[in-house]
């Protein structure tokens, strides 16, 4: 169990090469104990946990499919068993890639995109908000999309728009309880191919300083701010990123 003063962050979809991994590393850097959620990439998740622990932080890897309500319950329960609290929840995984134009829409895939964008929100908010309300401190950050710079995929964009709005609407309910809910809206970004490179960006090393386009670490820095005390009065915000 973590010490009573250390805040705990749950980062969903944290074992890939993108925003989730960088968010987990950054929140650990900023003093959070981190629950590194993964669906299939156990080896990657455990490597991230090892790197956080090697730097003096606390972390654990938990397998769960955030599109499944039962898995989300187990994920949150496991976090509480280990750390005894939960202060921040980063919601990342979402829709797939169905690039058809509206006149050639794959309706099954399009509906699946909406389900996958909304399901993690509906599955996780009832599990994390009551505790955050009781402690009158909490942070929820969802990874949406900057619709000023949409992807080429109509169904994906529409599903992300639904996620954006669902989270922004929830922020109105959460704010009187001392909980902020915000959306990060990146344009499509490149992955960081290795964990070493992700750590280098997190530590603001040469790879970070020499970047020429938006990195997952740029998004992670925004998440770090929104989860910090400095971001206490920022809620219902769409933080947009460009290329």
* Mean pLDDT of all residues in 56-81: 98
What mean pLDDT is reported for the chain? Answer: 95
Burial of residue 18 (number of CB atoms within 10 Å: 0-12, 13-18, 19+): buried
* Mean pLDDT of all residues in 61-85: 97
Confidence band of 68 (pLDDT split at 50, 70, 90): very high
* Mean pLDDT of all residues in 127-148: 96
The values of phi and psi at residue 109, to 5°, are -65, -35
Confidence band of 152 (pLDDT split at 50, 70, 90): confident
The domains of the chain, with CATH numbers, are: 8-240 (3.40.50.720)
* Mean pLDDT of all residues in 126-131: 98
Judge whether residue 1 has pLDDT over 90.
no
Alpha carbon of residue 100 to chain centroid = 27
pLDDT of residue 5: 81
pLDDT of residue 206: 95
pLDDT of residue 149: 86
pLDDT of residue 150: 84
**Other beta carbons less than 10 A from residue 205's beta carbon:** 12
Judge whether residue 4 has pLDDT over 70.
no
178-214: per-residue pLDDT in tens?
Answer: 999 999 999 878 899 999 999 999 999 999 999 999 9
Share of residues in the chain with pLDDT > 90 (%) = 87
- What's the 3-state SS for 132-196? HHHHCCEEEEEECCCCCCCCCCHHHHHHHHHHHHHHHHHHHHHHHHCEEEEEEECCCCCCCCCHH
Closest CA to 25 of 39, 4, 5, 11: 11
Closest CA to 25 of 187, 211, 240, 219: 219
Closest CA to 146 of 243, 217, 240: 240
83-102: per-residue pLDDT in tens?
Answer: 999 999 999 999 888 888 89
pLDDT of residue 136: 97
The values of phi and psi at residue 59, to 5°, are -160, 160
41-59: per-residue pLDDT in tens?
Answer: 999 999 999 999 999 999 9
pLDDT of residue 242: 84
Judge whether residue 66 has pLDDT over 70.
yes
Helix (H) / strand (E) containing 55: none
Q: How many residues does the chain have?
A: 243
* Mean pLDDT of all residues in 146-154: 88
pLDDT of residue 2: 53
């Amino acid at each position: 169990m973590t010490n009573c003063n250390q805040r705990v962050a749950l980062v969903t979809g944290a074992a890939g090469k993108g925003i989730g991994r960088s968010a987990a590393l950054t929140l650990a850097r900023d003093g959070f104990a981190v629950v590194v959620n993964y669906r299939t990439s156990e080896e990657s998740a455990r490597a991230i946990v090892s790197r956080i622990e090697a730097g003096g932080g606390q972390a654990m890897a938990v397998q769960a499919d955030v599109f499944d309500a039962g898995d989300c319950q187990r994920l949150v329960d496991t976090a509480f068993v280990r750390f005894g609290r939960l202060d921040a929840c980063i919601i990342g995984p979402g829709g797939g890639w169905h690039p058809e134009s509206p006149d050639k829409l794959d309706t099954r895939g399009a509906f699946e995109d909406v389900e996958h964008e909304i399901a993690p929100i509906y599955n996780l908010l009832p599990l994390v908000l009551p505790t955050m309300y009781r402690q009158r401190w909490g942070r929820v950050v969802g990874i949406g999309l900057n619709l000023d710079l949409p992807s080429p995929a109509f169904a994906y964009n529409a599903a992300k728009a639904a996620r954006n709005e669902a989270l922004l609407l929830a922020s109105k309910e959460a704010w009187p309880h001392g909980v902020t809910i915000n959306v990060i809206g990146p344009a499509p970004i490149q992955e960081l191919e290795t964990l070493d490179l992700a750590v280098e960006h997190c530590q603001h090393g040469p790879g970070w300083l020499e970047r020429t386009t938006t990195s997952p670490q740029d998004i992670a820095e925004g998440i770090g701010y929104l989860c910090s005390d400095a971001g206490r009065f920022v809620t219902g915000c769409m933080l947009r990123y460009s290329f």
